[in-house]
Each structure stands twice: as structure tokens, then as C-alpha cells.
Amino acid sequence: MERYFFRCCRFAAGRWGHGSADGLADSDGIAQYLRSLLAVPSRSMAIFPIRIYPDPVLRSEVEKIDVFDEDLRRLADDLFETMYDAPGVGLAAPQIGIAKRLFVADIGEGPFVMVNPEIVETSGEWTFEEGCLSVPDRFWEISRPSFARATGFDLDGNAIEYSGDELMGRVLQHEIDHLSGGLVIERLSKAERKQAIAELREAVADDRLGRP
């Protein structure tokens, strides 16, 4: 997969030292591992269509999660399956149409889930090519804090925290933005944003009309 190719969080291919082919070869193994950890025997994981800009669910208010049950585990399973299939390094619940405060990610160091995450600390600055599975095939050089620390809960409701520099810091910030209706295009300059929105509208119109 392209954990090294941040699509939704998506970064440029090859920058992270692992070829995407290796990653793709890995993803079956990872999916199997996840099944062993998380799956419900009576139900296999499902790949959901990823919601694309300007789908309003990407802008909607998300619900804080207060029930840590089997349904939440299934939602996390589905997010992982959809993320690895894309492939991407992170995926937030609104991106599969579920307005809940949850994301999954794997930057190549193993899968992790954060429920009700919040960024509690950032520092430094890092410019990097960033894209999003919900704004497909577009990448921009975006500056954000390099380091981020986020607190939240695991699927059992235990308090957890993740932090890191560069790619980890970027994924935490990008995914948590999705949980407050944020999209990567808001991180662009006014001129870049205007151009990006015009291009995206055109792409959506072409898609509707079946133009190549």
C-alpha cells in the first residue's frame, strides 16, 4: 500500500523507502492480521465507497462516540479494509459516510485506531506533498506543524495517545481535521484553493457527463 503515498491521506509515492508494490503485497497479510485481532466470525470486513468532495458528509458535524461495542469494532474493521484497499495511510469515518469521531491509520508501523481524538500539542513546521482520498489525484505542498500529539481512546474505551514528527504528525493532523469537517483544500493559499475548487467542480461535472 502506499503508506508512503499519503492519500487521505496520501503522500508522494516512494518517499518513504518502501515501494508501493511491497506495500500492496503486505496489505493482504495486514488484513488477515486485522481479521485475527478484530473480526467478527460471522461477518467479513467490507470495503466501502470513499466519499469524494463535495459530498456534504465530509463537512458534517460528527458525533462523539460513547458506546464502545461490537458495532464500533466493525466500523473500525471496515475503515481499515477500505483504507488498505484504496490504498491510503489513514481514513476517517466521515469518508465512508459515517459521521462519527473515529479514524484509522497505518503509516507503515502498524495499524492504529483513535476514537474521539483531539490534537493536544503541535510544534515545528514541515512542508510536504499532501493529498486526500476524498480529493483524489491531487497533491499540494502544504506546511503544517511537523510534530503533533493526539489523545483519544481505543476501541475498548481506554485512554490512549499517539504522537510523532513528519508523516505521523501529518496523519494525526489530517485525520483529525476530517472529524471537524476539515479538508486538505482549506490548508491551501486563497489562490490555490480557488483553482483547486474550480478543477474539482470540473472533474465532478465531467464525471456526471461521462466525459474522459
Which one among 1, 6, 8, 106 touches Ni ion, defined by CB under 5 A? 8
Interface of this chain with Ni ion, residues 58 to 117, rule: CB under 5 A: none
Positions marked catalytic: 175
Distance CA 21, CA 10 (A): 16
Report, in Å, the least distance between residue 170 CB and Ni ion. Answer: 11
Which of 16, 139 has the CB closer to Ni ion?
139
Residue 6 or 16: the one with the smaller Cβ distance to Ni ion is: 6
Exposure string (b/e) for 151-174, b if CB count within 10 Å is 16 or more? bbbebeeeebebbbebbbbbbbbb
Whether the CA torsion 170, 174, 198, 208 is positive or negative: it is: positive
Residue 89 three-state SS: coil
Q: Please write down the HEC assignment for all residues of 1-70.
A: CCCCCECCCECCCCCCCCCHHHHHHHHHHHHHHHHHHHCECCECCCCCCCCCCCCHHHHCCCECCCCCCH
Stretch of 3-11, 33-41, 47-55, 68-76 lying at the interface with Ni ion (CB under 5 A): 3-11
User: Closest approach of Cβ 145 to Ni ion, in Å?
Assistant: 17
Q: Given the complex with Ni ion, which of 11 and 147 has the nearer CB atom? A: 11
CB closer to Ni ion, 16 vs 174: 174
Binding mask 126-165 for Ni ion (x = CB under 5 A): ------x---------------------------------
Per CB under 5 A, residues contacting Ni ion are 8-9, 132
